[in-house]
Amino acid sequence: MSTTGDEHSVFIWKDFSRFVQVAPVERGWLVLWGHFRHAGRVRDLVGQRTYADLSGVRRRVADSVFELTKSSELVAEAIIRFDRTPFPVHRATPLPDPL
Domain ranges of the chain: 6-83
Pair 55, 63: CB distance under 8 Å? no
**0.75 exceeded by pTM:** yes
Pair 85, 20: CB distance under 8 Å? no
pLDDT at 5: 57
pLDDT at 98: 82
DSSP string across 51-88: ESSHHHHHHHHHHHHHHHH--HHHHHHHHHHHHTS-PP
In order along its 99 residues, the chain shows pLDDT tens digits of 334 457 789 999 999 999 999 999 998 999 999 999 988 788 999 999 999 999 999 999 999 999 999 999 999 999 999 999 999 988 777 777 888
Rounded to an integer, what distance in angstroms lies between the CA atom of residue 20 and that of residue 12?
Answer: 6
